[in-house]
Amino acid sequence: MLTAVQVAVVAAAAAFVAVAGVAVYVMLKAARLMSETSATVAGLRERGDLLIERANAAIDEAGEQIARAETVTTSMAGVTAAMTGPGGQITALTPAPPAGSEATSRPLAWAAALVYGVRWALGTRLAASQGMPSQPRQAGPWHGGLLPGQPRRRADRPGRPARETARETARETGRGAALASRGNGIHR
């Protein structure tokens, strides 16, 4: 049989082999981790270099755009300076406008009358297409005439806004609570 010393030596040898195996395993894992880390760092360096190159290219392009803008600004200043001379000559060559304000207001009055006539005709046509009776209107909404679709105010309360008039009409017909609960913009 084995003596106690021999058992202790065998146990110590087994323990040494086990510890050496664990140490080798840990060292292999650490070596793999270090190689993966170095590969990741190298990849990050390459990406960083690429990013720096792109940033430098963008800065160079921005500098070129600024130089072009300065060139355009300079040429526009030259064009403006060149146009001031002929402008004064053209002003000197044009005939003087006729005296009196009537000569300048005739085209404006004609344009205003044309716009009013077209607006009135379109309003009449819209009223006819909606089945509303065609009523002769006065000159405009400021003289009492209303545009098609414009809300009419009640005659007994001429100074109240249309919203309050609609609210009171809804209350009088018994629909006030229904309208308020639906939230049609009528606020109490």
185 against 118, higher pLDDT: 118
Model confidence at 21, pLDDT cuts 50, 70, 90, reads very high
Q: Is residue 128 domain-resident?
A: no
pLDDT digits (tens, 9 = 90+) for 91-146: 666 666 666 555 556 788 888 889 999 999 998 888 888 877 655 555 444 445 55
Q: What is the pLDDT of residue 136?
A: 53
Q: Is residue 119 domain-resident?
A: no
Residue 161 and residue 82 share a domain: no
Which are the contacts of 145, defined by CB distance < 8 A and separation ≥ 6? 137, 138, 139
Model confidence at 164, pLDDT cuts 50, 70, 90, reads low
Average pLDDT, the chain: 76
Q: What is the pLDDT of residue 52?
A: 95
CB 153 within 8 A of CB 162: yes
Assess whether pLDDT exceeds 70 at residue 15. yes
Domain total in the chain: 2
The mean per-residue pLDDT over the stretch 68-75 comes to 90
What's the burial of 38, exposed, middle or buried (CB within 10 Å: 0-12/13-18/19+)?
Answer: exposed
- Provide the domain limits for residue 51: 1-87
pLDDT digits (tens, 9 = 90+) for 27-43: 999 999 999 999 999 99
Residue 82 and residue 2 share a domain: yes
Task: Choose the final residue of a domain: 87, 105, 132.
Answer: 87
Q: Is residue 141 domain-resident?
A: no
Q: What is the pLDDT of residue 172?
A: 60
Question: Both tokens of residue 22?
Answer: 């664990």
Task: Choose the final residue of a domain: 87, 113, 134.
Answer: 87
Longest C-alpha distance within the chain, in Å? 143
Query: Lowest-pLDDT range, 7-16, 75-84, 127-136, 178-187?
Result: 178-187
Q: Is residue 146 domain-resident?
A: no
